Amino acid sequence: MTDQLEPRQGGSPAIQQSSGAPEERRSNPIKDTLAPIAGFGVTFKTMLTKTVTEQYPEDKRPTEPRYHGRHVLNRHADGLEKCIGCELCAWACPADAIYVEGADNTEEARFSPGERFGAVYQINYLRCIFCGLCIEACPTRALTMSNEYELADDSRADLIYTKDQLLAPLQPGMEAPPHPMRLGDDEKAYYAPKGSGQ
Amino acid sequence: MGIEEKIPDGVLLTTVAKVLNIARKNSVWPAQFGLACCAIEMMAVGGPRFDIARFGMERFSASPRQADLMIVAGRVSQKMAPVLRQIYDQMSEPKWVLAMGVCASSGGMFNNYAIVQGVDHIVPVDMYLPGCPPRPEMLLDAILKLHDKIRTGPITGKLGITQIDDSPYEKPIERDTRTSKSLPVDVEIAPYANAAPLPGEDR
């Protein structure tokens, strides 16, 4: 035991030098007086700088434009939904947060320009990790993300957002579906109206 | 606590309850329970830029007995679950729990045998905060919503409510469309954000 407690022989020269008696500290009255002031220098300097604190609830700073916030289900210019109920977003989702059920459009009730539309669309925000893979997967760009992030709630059920919450609000000139295609009779006329150059 | 347990709410102590709840709301001290990446954002909230002390939450308490709010930040493994419950039991009442991030709220993308699928299987949760991880503003928003809940709550706080309800598994729901929250019209929507251009599309 005693062998292990003894210091090793032949350490580095620096250690051997420092093991001597500590050098007596010379007192310098001017330096000693100024030392606290130098120490408070950071404090005094910070008093003069601008405050970095964000006054969050009163002053909300905008996010970056491409921030991954809550989702939006977009509409065509006439108000029809872009979602075709293909479930590719649900397949792409790594957290299984999206639930989609597609259904057929009929002539009496048309929700999207094509054959199918998303009849049930739910996103569970307690699973969603806002990675954006659903947005990359969407073939019609029906699903995009907004910049809204204030999503906290005290109920698990209320954090499953349904289609009526996710759909983009109707802009002026839009009409709530179901209604017939207003931008053109066939698909070519609908997607590339005259004057679009396509 | 005292007499307020014996007397029904709204009879004698309405004004007292208001004052007491305002006092409680403005001095909610958080117990740190940082488990993963969400803890980084939680630390940012404690820093000067977001400054949680503005809301009377002066410092993160490392001792549960001096804490009122447990911020569960990160995924809770099965092995951590009894520890979390013990910390919760050591906190003095009234006490609240904030599940920060999707992992603490529901398991998030870790739907496997190692992770508890939501801390509400272990402790009663008062506020769920989505995000992976939530930005500091989102945590402040959740704390403010919790403050609102404390302010309007009963005088007994959450006294005695320390057991969890039936298993709150999420399932597809039928929603009453009249009461649902749709996106406000003035929210700026970046229409093509985060998406590659379609073939032949002019951006």
DSSP for chain B, please give it: --GGGTSPTTTS-HHHHHHHHHHHHTT-PEEEEE-STHHHHHHHHHSTTT-GGGGT--S-BSSGGG-SEEEEESPPBTTTHHHHHHHHHHSPSS-EEEEEHHHHHH-TT--STTB-S-GGGTS--SEEE--SSPPHHHHHHHHHHHHHHHHTS-TTTTTT--S--S----------TTS--PPPTTS---TTTT-PPPTT---
Q: Give residue A166's pLDDT.
A: 92
**Mean pLDDT of the B62-73 span:** 90
**Residue A122 to residue A138: CA distance in whole angstroms:** 15
Please answer yes or no on whether B191 and A155 come within 8 Å at the CB atom. no
Q: What's the sign of the alpha-carbon dihedral B157, B160, B162, B167?
A: negative
- Those residues with Cβ within 8 angstroms of residue A191's Cβ, 6 or more apart along the chain or in another chain: A113, A184
Helix axes B136-151, B14-25, angle to 10 degrees: 160
Residue B62, pLDDT above cutoff 70: yes
* Chain B residues with CB-CB distance to A84 below 8 A: none
- Residue tagged 């075709």 (tokens): A84
CB < 8 Å from A in window 13-52 of B: 48-51
- Residues in chain A with CB shorter than 8 Å from the CB of B168 are 156
What pLDDT was estimated at residue A5?
A: 52
- Give the residue carrying structure tokens 């910070």: A46
Given A72, A122, A126, which is nearest B105 (Cβ)? A126
Sheet holding A116-124, edge to edge: A98-104, A116-124, A160-161
The region of weakest confidence among B2-6, B119-123, B170-174 is: B170-174
Q: B98 vs chain A: nearest CA distance in angstroms?
A: 9
What is the C-alpha end-to-end distance of chain B, expressed in Å?
A: 64
B160 against A47, higher pLDDT: A47
Whether the bond between A193 and the residue before it is cis, its omega within 30 degrees of 0, is: no
pLDDT band at A11 (very low <50, low <70, confident <90, very high): very low
Instruction: Give the C-alpha separation, A40 to A61, whole Å.
Output: 32
pTM: 0.77
CA B61 to chain A, closest CA, distance in angstroms equals: 22
CB contact under 8 A, A151 and B138: yes
Q: Which residue has the higher pLDDT, B144 or B18?
A: B144
Percent of chain A with pLDDT over 70: 85
Instruction: Characterise A141 by phi-psi region: left (phi > 0), alpha (psi -120 to 50), beta (else).
Output: left
For residues A171 and B199, what is the distance between their CA atoms, to the nearest angstrom? 26
pLDDT of B190 over the 70 cut: no
DSSP state of A168: P
B193:A152 CB<8 A = no
Q: Do A132 and B182 touch (CB under 8 A)?
A: no
Residues B77 and B74: their CA atoms lie apart, in Å, by: 9
Answer yes or no: do B144 and A165 touch at CB < 8 A.
no
**pLDDT tens readout for residues A86-142:** 999 999 999 999 999 999 999 889 999 889 999 999 999 999 999 999 999 999 999
Can you tell me whether residue A95 is helix, strand or coil?
coil
The closest CB to that of B183, out of A66, A68, A146, belongs to A146
Between B194 and A130, name the one with better pLDDT. Answer: A130
Q: Residue A151 is encoded by which pair of tokens?
A: 């999503």
| pLDDT tens, position by position, B51-60 | 999 998 888 8
> What local confidence, expressed as pLDDT, does residue A8 receive?
52
Peptide bond into B154 cis (omega under 30): no
Question: Would you call the peptide bond into B94 cis, given omega within 30 degrees of 0 as the criterion?
Answer: yes
End-to-end CA distance of chain A: 89
pLDDT surpasses 70 at B12: no
Name the minimum distance, in Å, from the CA of A95 to any CA of chain B: 4
**CB interface of B with A, residues 115-134, below 8 Å:** 118, 120, 125-132, 134
Percent of chain A residues past pLDDT 90, beyond the cut = 39
Q: What is the mean pLDDT of residues B193-199?
A: 53
- Whole-number average pLDDT of chain A: 84
Q: Tell me whether residues A126 and B193 touch, CB distance under 8 A.
A: no
Q: What is the pLDDT of residue A22?
A: 60
Query: Cα(A124)–Cα(A33) distance, rounded to whole angstroms?
Result: 63
Let me know: does A158 contact B105? Beta carbons within 8 Å. no
Encoded tokens for B155: 């005088």
Q: Which of B25, B97, B137 best probes binding to A when mutated, by most A CB atoms within 10 angstroms?
A: B137
| Segment A174-196 mean pLDDT | 80
Distance in angstroms (rounded) separating the CA atoms of residues B127 and B119 = 11
Q: Among A198, A189, A188, A182, which residue's Cα sits nearest to residue A112?
A: A182
Q: List, in order, residues 6 or more apart from A92 with CB less than 8 Å away.
A: A133, A134, A136, A137
pLDDT band, residue B2 (cuts 50/70/90): low
User: Which residues are bridge partners to A123 per DSSP?
Assistant: A98, A161
pLDDT above 70 for B78? yes
* Among the partner residues B175, B183, B193, nearest to A65 by beta-carbon distance: B193
Residue B152 contacts A, CB cutoff 8 Å: no
| Closest residue of chain A to B149, computed from CA coordinates | A154
**A22 Cα to chain B: minimum distance (Å):** 39
Set of chain A residues whose Cβ sits within 8 Å of the Cβ of B107 = 127
Instruction: Give the count of Cβ contacts less than 8 A between chain A and B.
Output: 169
What average pLDDT does this structure show over A1-28? 55
